[in-house]
Amino acid sequence: MPESKPVTLVTGGAGFLGSHLCDLLLGKGHRVIAMDNLITGNLANIAHLEGRNDFQFIHHNVTEYIDIPGPVDIVFHFASPASPIDYLELPIQTLKVGALGTHKTLGLARAKGSRFLLASTSEVYGDPLVHPQPETYWGNVNPIGPRGVYDEAKRFAEAMTMAYHRFHGVDTRIVRIFNTYGPRMRPRDGRVVPAFITEALKGEPITVFGSGRQTRSFCYVADLIAGIYKLAMSDCHEPVNIGNPSEMTVLDFAEKIRGLCRATSPIVFKPLPEDDPKIRQPDIRKARAVLGWEPATNLDQGLALTIEYFRGLLAKGLI
Ligand code: NAD
Ligand code: UDP
């Protein structure tokens, strides 16, 4: 019998976002292949999918040639270290997966006639001089700073994706993801949400970098994944920001986490990492107009679900 379900490859499928994307795609009736080399991912994120006949995991480094027998209808390229600590520890792997990994996955999409969606990032805007950041802003990135390995890899990945679209006619999409949080983030990945929650739950000091006056805007994972699916199903080839425009300072965020965790942890200050963006807020007018998407989960609701997840890890002795 011919395959009737769309066959969809998710690179980085054992990671935080990739695993949630696998869940959503399976719910929409796709046959999902998750590909991951587990460099920052965790098989526990997809353990609940093991044994399904519409799900397959392939352990593979996507910077190497990708061989998938049979048709592939859609490729979601999510493989990449994503937290500042990870890409500072893995600078070459980060550059390679953004450059060579994007080349390999685009090559696969071209050979199979698949649609292709690149997970890009708000980091392409660097330390922005325009606020909030619309897709038309070209950014303010330090190419040789410590974050350059991630920012420039993603900028290269966007350029490569547009080249495959324009030159080879591949049906591509680019999502620029802003700070997203939720269950399955790695407790010690260094990003602000898991860092503050684990510190608060363990009664340790909450470590704010710099003065804490820098801002971020946090999007709940289910909202983000819903927006990305809408983008994949749209006909928009230009980049689209997906994120939550509700912006706050990192210090206010620390106080919010402390309150929601009912913790008494002191807030302590550590030096601001080099090139840490001072402000960030997505301009999501394009996502609203083109996709009819906007976030539906408010911060307190999303954080409650996330804190519950981390409490579960704590109870199992995993943090
Ligand atoms: P994550 O670290 O949880 O997931 C990334 C996954 O990619 C991991 O499972 C890792 O093992 C895998 N991977 C890395 N290099 C690989 C390689 N060479 N071959 C195969 N697999 C490889 O991070 P995440 O937060 O889920 O991020 C997923 C994607 O979304 C990344 O591309 C990231 O740049 C992008 N993004 C995330 C955010 C966010 O807030 N979470 C924001 C902007 C962009
Ligand atoms: N941050 C912090 N304490 C931490 C981790 C992060 O104060 O333990 C700050 C970080 O300096 C940045 C913001 O929180 O200003 C968001 O950091 P994250 O690593 O989550 O992602 P970024 O948006 O910088 O990529």
pLDDT in tens, 181-203: 999 999 999 999 999 999 999 99
Pocket of ligand 2, beta carbon within 6 A = 83-84, 179, 190-192, 195, 207-209, 214, 216, 250, 272-273, 276
Structural domain boundaries of the chain?
7-181+220-244+280-296
**Which atom of ligand 1 lies closest to the CA of 191?**
40
Confidence of residue 4 (pLDDT cuts 50, 70, 90): confident
Q: What is the pLDDT of residues 258-268, one digit of tens each?
A: 999 999 999 99
Question: Does residue 19 have its Cβ closer than 6 Å to ligand 1?
Answer: no
Kindly give the number of the ligand 2 atom that is closest to the alpha carbon of 196: 8
Averaged pLDDT for residues 242-259: 98
The mean pLDDT of the chain is 97
Give the model confidence (pLDDT) of 109-164 as tens digits: 999 999 999 999 999 999 999 999 999 999 999 999 999 999 999 999 999 999 99
Pocket test for ligand 1, best of 10, 11, 16 (most atoms within 8 A of CB): 16
Ligand nearest to C-alpha 86: 1
DSSP 3-state helix, strand, coil percentages of the chain (rounded to 5)? 40, 20, 40
- Model pLDDT for residues 14-70, shown as the tens digit of each residue: 999 999 999 999 999 999 999 999 999 999 999 999 999 999 999 999 999 999 999
Ligand 1 centroid to 91 CA: how many Å?
14
What Å distances lie between residue 314 and 190, 200, 202, CA to CA? 17, 12, 8
Q: Is 265 in the pocket of ligand 1 (CB under 6 A)?
A: no
Show the DSSP H helices in the chain as ranges. 16-27, 84-89, 91-96, 102-112, 148-168, 192-201, 221-233, 250-260, 285-286, 299-315
Measured in degrees and rounded to the nearest 5, phi and psi for residue 35 equal -120, 130
1 pLDDT band, cuts 50/70/90, is: very low
Whether pLDDT at 2 is above 50 = no
Instruction: Please check the confidence at residue 243 and state whether its pLDDT lies above 50.
Output: yes
Which candidate in 150, 164, 181, 220 is catalytic? 150
pLDDT at 3: 55
Q: Which of 252, 265, 251 is nearest to 201 (CA)?
A: 265
Kind of pairing, strands 215-217 and 247-249? antiparallel
User: CA 86: distance to chain centroid?
Assistant: 13
Neighbours of 295 (CB within 10 A): 24
Query: Shortest CA distance to 119 belongs to which of 276, 26, 20, 228?
Result: 228
Q: Match 């999918």 to its residue by tokens.
A: 49
- What's the whole-model pTM score? 0.97
Q: Which residues does 243 contact at the CB level (< 8 Å), separation at least 6?
A: 122, 177, 178, 179, 180, 217, 219, 224, 282, 284, 295
Q: What single letter denotes the amino acid at residue 275?
A: D
User: What CATH number is given for 7-181+220-244+280-296 in this structure?
Assistant: 3.40.50.720
CA distance 303 to 116: 31
pLDDT digits (tens, 9 = 90+) for 172-183: 999 999 999 999
119 in contact with ligand 1, CB cutoff 6 A = yes
- Identify the CA nearest to 102 among candidates 8, 184, 174: 174
The percent of residues above 70 in pLDDT, for the chain, comes to 99
* 309 assigned to active site: no
Among 40, 83, 86, 224, which is best to mutate for testing ligand 1, by the most ligand atoms less than 8 A from CB?
40
Which ligand 1 atom is the nearest neighbour of the CA of 179?
40
* Closest residue by CA, ligand 2 atom 4: 192
Closest ligand 1 atom, residue 45 Cα = 9
> How large is the average pLDDT for residues 295-317?
97
Whether 14 is in the pocket of ligand 1, judged by its Cβ within 6 Å, is yes
Task: Decide if pLDDT at 9 tops 50.
Answer: yes
